[in-house]
Amino acid sequence: MKKLLLLSVFFVGIVSMNAQTKEDLVAQKTEKQAIADAAQGEANALQAKIDALPGWRKGLFGTVGGTLSNFSNWYSQGSPDNASGNIGISVNAYANLIEDKFFWRNALTTNLNWVKLDDKSNDILEGTALEVDDKDFNATTDVFNISSLYGRNITKNFAVSGLMEYRTTLLDNFNDPGYLDVGVGGTWTPLENLIVVIHPLNYNFVFASGDSVFESSLGAKIVADYTRQIGAISFKSNLSTFQSYSDGDLSNVTWTNSFGYTLWKMIGVGFDFGLRSNKQEAANFQGVNLADGDNKLQSYWLLGLSYSL
């Protein structure tokens, strides 16, 4: 009986010691975590002061998405023998020189996508008039935009500015069409990462080959851009509009958005989407006069792995 009692007391003591040890470890962890959080807060505050200093601010992030597949004798689907693929790449880069009296902001945005569907069941038709298969990757999404904005500060949040912005496609019909906006006006920066450009004097040069509905014109340019990185999250939203003074059908608007979340080192997940309204492009694609064009809203999106530097 005494032995049993001693064993019970010993067991309770061991359990109490382990429980106390765990509680001590949890308390130590909480204390260390509080110190680490405080240190991280101080580091973030110092980084904010560094970012506010005059000089260059540079950044690069984007999204890479893709799938490749191959089926052989998979009879449950309409094309039992096929090879398919989808590859998409988006890049967002900026290099901004911020000084006390002036700024020079430069940005690059591009989104490229290729798609392939090789139905091997159609190989017997290859090289004939009945061939309906395409074994190559074909460009689908094709967006390229580069801009440069220079401004002289009048007040803390407003500057007289000049903007040059060029938009086209890279993979298909490069510079056909191509858009070059050149204008002057004012730039408002209500927030550190928000830029609003209002240029009432802007000429929209449109480049296109042959006879087409594309036409250059004078108008107003408005651009709003918000680019920021918060911890592991990077995002950019850009709205670019041109309002023609001569004909509303020559106006256009493009809105692009990119989001990235870093999961490990520089790798994460990203999502891009864009909207565009351009009646000149719609009428040219439909092969009709500008007035007869059916200007449906254009859109794209891309989801995949992201990277940041």
Determine the average pLDDT of the residues in 39-48. 75
What's the whole-model pTM score?
A: 0.74
2: pLDDT confidence band, cut at 50, 70 and 90?
Answer: low
Percentage, residues of the chain above pLDDT 90: 39
162: pLDDT confidence band, cut at 50, 70 and 90?
Answer: very high
307: pLDDT confidence band, cut at 50, 70 and 90?
Answer: low
Determine the average pLDDT of the residues in 165-173. 88
pLDDT tens, position by position, 180-215: 999 999 999 998 889 999 999 999 999 988 777 899
Determine the average pLDDT of the residues in 269-295. 91
Pick the more confident residue, 179 or 41.
Answer: 179
48: pLDDT confidence band, cut at 50, 70 and 90?
Answer: low
Q: What is the pLDDT of residue 167?
A: 92
Lowest mean pLDDT among 79-83, 144-148, 223-227: 79-83
Pick the more confident residue, 9 or 107.
Answer: 107
Q: What is the pLDDT of residue 129?
A: 46
Widest CA span of the chain, in angstroms?
108
Give strand pairing partners of 306.
Answer: 63, 268
Q: How far apart are CA 21 and CA 26, in angstroms?
A: 9
pLDDT tens, position by position, 54-70: 789 888 877 777 777 78
Q: What is the pLDDT of residue 146?
A: 94
**Cβ(59)–Cβ(93) below 8 Å:** yes
Q: What is the pLDDT of residue 6?
A: 54
pLDDT of 138 > 80? The answer is no
